[in-house]
Amino acid sequence: MIKRVHLDHAHMQHLLKAMIRIRRFEAKCVELYQAQKILGFLHLYDGEEAVSVGVMEALTQDDAVIATYREHGQALARGVDPKCLMAEMMGKLNGCCRGRGGSMHFFDRARRFYGGNAIVGGGMPLALGVALADKMQGRSAITACFFGEGAVDEGEFHETLNLASLWRLPILFVCENNLYSMGMAVERAEADIDFVHKASGYRVAGEKVDGMDVVAVESAARNAIDRIRSENEPYFLECRTYRFRAHSMFDAQLYRSKDEVEVWRKKGPIVRFQTWLEANRLIKPEELATIEEEVDKEIAAAVAFAEAGPLEPVSELERFVTMEEVPS
C-alpha cells in the first residue's frame, strides 16, 4: 500500500515539518485572535493536519485545489507562503487576498489554490468547472476537491459527484470526515455514513483512509491520482479525522465529551508520526529541534510580515468588484 511513498529521511522529516508548521501557525493565530489582531471566525485545523499534508504531497504544481473554510492547513500544505497567509489573517494588504478574504477565503492563483469557500459544499461545483476547463484545454491536471462530511448533506455533493462521474472529470474528492459538522454528529445527519458507498452510487470509486496517518493519506492519494489518470474518472477519498478544538472560537462543545476528545488526541497525527519516527530512530532529537526552530522562525517572520503590512486604502474598497480584464 505504501510502496509508492518514498519514505526516505528527508521526506519523513518534510511531512513532520509540514504538520508542525500548520499546528504552530494556528497556535499563533489563536494567540493573535485573543489579542484581537485576528477577528471574525477562526476555524482551526488542529488534528486534521495529516489529511492536507498527505494529499498535497501527492499533487504536482500543475494540479488544482478547491478548499473549504477550514483551510489554513490546506493552504500551508499546498505551499502558500505563510507570510501572506498570516497577513491575510490580520486583514493586511500584503495578505494573499489583500485582507479581503480573511481566515476562510485564501486564494493563490500561482499555486492553483482556488479558494477557501465558506458555504458548505459551495466549492464542489467549482471543482467541476476547473477540472472541465483543464480537460477541455488539454491539460492533464487533477483537481483536488476538499470538503467536510457536512457537505455530503448538501445537494451540491450529489450533483457534483454525479456530473463528475458522468463527464469523467479528473477530480480527487477529499472528504475530511471529522465526524461533526459544527455540532452535528455525522450519524445524526446522514442516513448512511458510509461515504464511499455513497460515492459508489454515482459510480465514483473510492476508499476510506485513516486521516490521522499522514503516510497512509499520502499513499492513498498517490494511488488515487494514478487511478484518476489511468481510468480517466474521478476518485473519492474519505479521510477519517478529528478536530481537537472548537468548531470556531466561540463553541462550548456541548455536543461531545472531553473524554472523546482525549481519546482522539492520543491518535493525533503529529504525536503519532513523531513518536513512530523517534521509536524507529528515523529522526534525531536535534533534527526535531531544528524543525521546530525553523518552523518557529518562519512563523515569527510571518507575524512580523503581517504586523508590518499596510492596510488596504478604503479608497480601493470597490476595486475588483468588477474586473477590468481577465488576469493571465
Partner 1 sequence: MNAPQATAAATRLTYREACKQALRDALLSDPRVFLMGEDIGRYGGCYAVTKGLLEEFGEERIRDTPLSESAFVGAGVGSAMVGMRPIVEIMTVNFSLLALDQIVNNAVTIPHMSGGQFAIPLVIRMTTGGGRRVAAQHSRSLEGWYAHIPGLRVLTPATVEDARFMLKGALADPNPVIIFEHVMLYNMEGDLPSDMKEVDIAHAKVRRAGRDVSLITYGGSLFKTLQAADALASEGIEAEVIDLRVLRPLDTKSILDSVAKTRRCVIIDEGWRSGSISAEVGMRIAEEGFFELDAPLRRVCSREAPIPYAAHLEDACLPQAATIVAVARELVRPS
Using CA atoms, how far apart are residues 86 and 26, in angstroms rounded to an integer? 10
Q: Which of 22, 32, 130, 215 binds partner 1 (CB under 8 A)?
A: 130
Instruction: Copy the grid coordinates of residue 323.
Output: 474586473
Instruction: Copy the grid coordinates of residue 14.
Output: 518534510
User: Residue 151's CB: how many other CB atoms inside 10 A?
Assistant: 24
We find the least distance from the C-beta atom of residue 271 to partner 1, in angstroms, to be 35
Residue 10 binds to partner 1 (criterion: CB under 8 A) = no
Residue 259 binds to partner 1 (criterion: CB under 8 A) = no
Residue 179 binds to partner 1 (criterion: CB under 8 A) = no
Residue 230 binds to partner 1 (criterion: CB under 8 A) = no
Q: What residues numbered 89-118 form the site for partner 1, per CB under 8 A?
A: 95-101, 105, 107-109, 114-115, 117
- Nearer Cβ to partner 1 (128/291): 128
We find the least distance from the C-beta atom of residue 146 to partner 1, in angstroms, to be 14
Q: Which of 12, 65, 126, 151 binds partner 1 (CB under 8 A)?
A: 126
We find the least distance from the C-beta atom of residue 145 to partner 1, in angstroms, to be 10
- Nearer Cβ to partner 1 (286/318): 318
**Main-chain phi, psi angles of 243, to 5 degrees:** -100, 125
We find the least distance from the C-beta atom of residue 143 to partner 1, in angstroms, to be 8
Q: For the residues of 76-96, what is the DSSP string, one character each? A: HHHT--HHHHHHHHTT-TTST
Residue 71 binds to partner 1 (criterion: CB under 8 A) = no
Task: Count interface residues toward partner 1 (CB under 8 A).
Answer: 49
Q: Which of 149, 156, 210, 218 binds partner 1 (CB under 8 A)?
A: 156
Bridge partner list, 180:
185
- Nearest residue to 216 via CA among 149, 141, 273: 273
Q: For the residues of 207-244, what is the DSSP string, one character each? A: EEEETT-HHHHHHHHHHHHHHHHHHTS-EEEEEE----
How far lies 200's CA from each of 89, 154, 169, 210, in Å?
38, 17, 15, 19
Q: Which stretch binds partner 1 (CB under 8 A): 26-34, 131-139, 240-248, 300-308?
A: 131-139
85's torsion region: left (phi>0), alpha (psi -120 to 50) or beta? alpha
Pair type for strands 180-181 and 184-185: antiparallel
We find the least distance from the C-beta atom of residue 289 to partner 1, in angstroms, to be 37
Residues that bind partner 1 (CB under 8 A): 64, 66, 95-101, 105, 107-109, 114-115, 117, 119, 122, 124-134, 136-137, 155-156, 159-160, 162-163, 166-167, 318-327
